Amino acid sequence: MPMVLATDTDTTELMKMWQDIFGDSKSFTKYYYDVKAIDNEILLNKKEDIIISMIHLNPYNMLINHQNETVDYIVGVATKPEYEGQGYMKATMLESLYRLYNKGHSFTLLMPIDERIYTRFDFSFIYNRYEVYINNKELINYKCRSYEGKAIKIDAVDEMRTFFKHYMEQNYKTYVKRDHRLWQNIYCEIDSEKGEMVAFYNESNQMAGYIIYHNLEDICEVREMMYSDYNVLKHILTYISDTSIAEKIKINAHHLEINHFIPYGKDTKIVFKPYIMGRVIQVEKFLRLFNLPVAFKIRIIDPIIKENTGIYKCNQGLTEIERTNEKPDIEMTVDTLMEWLMGYTDLKTLYDLDKVKVYNIDSYNLLENKMIQNKMYFNEIV
């Protein structure tokens, strides 16, 4: 059954399906279909005009090793319960991967609810985060109040954009380029769930950090937190402690350094969480995103997008890549390639896990000694 692109006539049924399956509020679902879904592609399996399954491809402009790349973020993968177990989800995912291949994309991303659903399509984890749970809000009250906290409204999101851009440029190699419109979308998304953006300013009225959070009666949850230095972090933690309605706090942190500011004990917990998975779409385009100072030949095996399977001859710097029939130096599957070049797992560990075959030990040793420095930040929800 070929998939079709959703049209405006599908929106009402799609919104009901989204709420029924994902349990999101009516206000968030309305935001998503009124604002976010404008730019995406929604692919549907239909049977006699009834929607059976869906998948959403949401485009993001990303910077990867100083190169601009459009990446479709996969969300909203769902099949109506009465049609589960009939192969619709598999068909939906396979057709979507080939659609991305034909669009010329290098890779795609998703946030899994269960990694086992996606490993069979050769997705692998490439990004982690840390979930910090605090049962007594006074534990993070540093009594610091030297920075003014100010709620940000939609007409002031450019201040957030400027701070985020500078922070990313200083700290990361792979991240979403959040422009003015995307920041407006984030504001609308947060506002749909009664959340807030709060920026913190120093005595010179320069932004020094911000939080995006939901201050609810049962728990105060921080979705994103940025700060220029640790003193600002202490102030932000104090602000969260002072303003939290609930005693319990959850902070979604993207740096392990947060553990230095959360006292260990029975009322605190830091959970390591694999967070984002990725999949290579076009191998040659994906290889060109990276700069390895070693020439090598690599065989890639892709059991799904079979056009990717082959031997690639890569020059130093990966500026020239061509298919070859020469004997490869190393061999790996397409999901292992994703793990390695995105800097999630080093080559030696992948070899020790039997994920890499070596045919030229000298070439392998050269590659093993070149650590992939690809620090990534990704915190887009839909």
> Do 140 and 246 have their domain in common?
yes
End-to-end CA distance of the chain: 27
196, 178 contact by CB (below 8 A)? no
Residue 272: the pLDDT is 94
CB-neighbour burial class of residue 334 (10 A; exposed 0-12, middle 13-18, buried 19+): buried
Instruction: Report CA dihedral (154, 156, 157, 160) to the nearest 10 degrees.
Output: -150
Residue 317: the pLDDT is 67
The range of the structural domain enclosing residue 285 comes to: 277-368
Which of 245, 266, 287 finishes a domain? Answer: 266
Contacts of 60 (CB under 8 A, 6+ apart): 70, 71, 72, 73, 176, 380
Measured on CA atoms in the order 49, 50, 51, 53, is the torsion positive or negative?
negative
Element containing residue 175 per DSSP (H, E): strand 174-176
> Do 355 and 249 have their domain in common?
no
> Do 50 and 172 have their domain in common?
no
37, 19 contact by CB (below 8 A)? no
> Do 256 and 303 have their domain in common?
no
Which of 243, 266, 289 finishes a domain? Answer: 266
Does residue 381 belong to any structural domain of this protein? no
Tokens representing 373 are 């420095």
Q: What is the pTM of this model?
A: 0.95
Interior/surface letters 229-245, b for 16+ CB within 10 angstroms, e for the rest: eebbbbbbbbbbbeebe
DSSP string, 295-354: -EEEEEE-SSSGGG-EEEEE-TTSS-EEEE-SPPSEEEEHHHHHHHHTTSS-HHHHHHTT
Helix (H, G, I), strand (E, B) or coil at 204: coil
38, 60 contact by CB (below 8 A)? no
Residue 318: the pLDDT is 65
H-type alpha helices, the chain = 11-22, 26-34, 88-102, 115-119, 157-171, 180-192, 230-243, 283-287, 334-341, 347-352, 361-368
User: In which residue are the tokens 């851009």 written?
Assistant: 165
> Do 50 and 150 have their domain in common?
no
Instruction: Render pLDDT for 178-191 as a digit per residue (tens, 0 to 9).
Output: 999 999 999 999 99
> Do 325 and 241 have their domain in common?
no
CB-neighbour burial class of residue 144 (10 A; exposed 0-12, middle 13-18, buried 19+): middle
> Do 243 and 285 have their domain in common?
no
> Do 99 and 215 have their domain in common?
no
Q: In what order do the strands lie in the sheet with 356-358?
A: 321-324, 310-314, 296-301, 330-333, 356-358
pLDDT tens-place values along the chain, 382 residues long: 678 999 999 999 999 999 999 999 999 999 999 999 999 999 999 988 899 999 999 999 999 988 999 999 999 999 999 999 999 999 999 999 999 999 999 999 999 999 999 999 999 999 999 999 999 999 999 998 789 899 999 999 999 999 999 999 999 999 999 999 999 999 999 999 999 999 999 999 999 999 999 999 999 999 999 999 999 999 999 999 999 999 999 999 998 899 999 999 999 999 999 999 999 999 999 999 988 888 999 999 999 999 999 999 998 766 789 999 999 999 999 999 999 999 999 999 999 999 999 999 999 999 998 877 789 999 999 9
* C-alpha–C-alpha distance, residues 244 and 140, integer Å: 11
Tokens representing 359 are 């045919």
> Do 82 and 190 have their domain in common?
no
Contacts of 257 (CB under 8 A, 6+ apart): none
Which of 105, 123, 150 finishes a domain? Answer: 105
> Do 146 and 194 have their domain in common?
yes
Does residue 17 belong to any structural domain of this protein? yes
| Domains held by the chain: number | 3
> Do 282 and 262 have their domain in common?
no
Q: What angle do CA 99, 286, 321 make, to 5 degrees?
A: 120
* C-alpha–C-alpha distance, residues 197 and 149, integer Å: 10
**At 303, which CATH number?**
3.30.1050.10
Does residue 315 belong to any structural domain of this protein? yes
* C-alpha–C-alpha distance, residues 147 and 82, integer Å: 54
Region class of 48: left (phi > 0), else alpha (psi between -120 and 50), else beta: left
DSSP string, 15-42: HHHHHHHH---HHHHHHHHHTGGGSSEE
**At 61, which CATH number?**
3.40.630.30
CA atoms within 13 A on the CB side of 251: 26
Does residue 118 belong to any structural domain of this protein? no
Does residue 382 belong to any structural domain of this protein? no
Residue 144: the pLDDT is 85
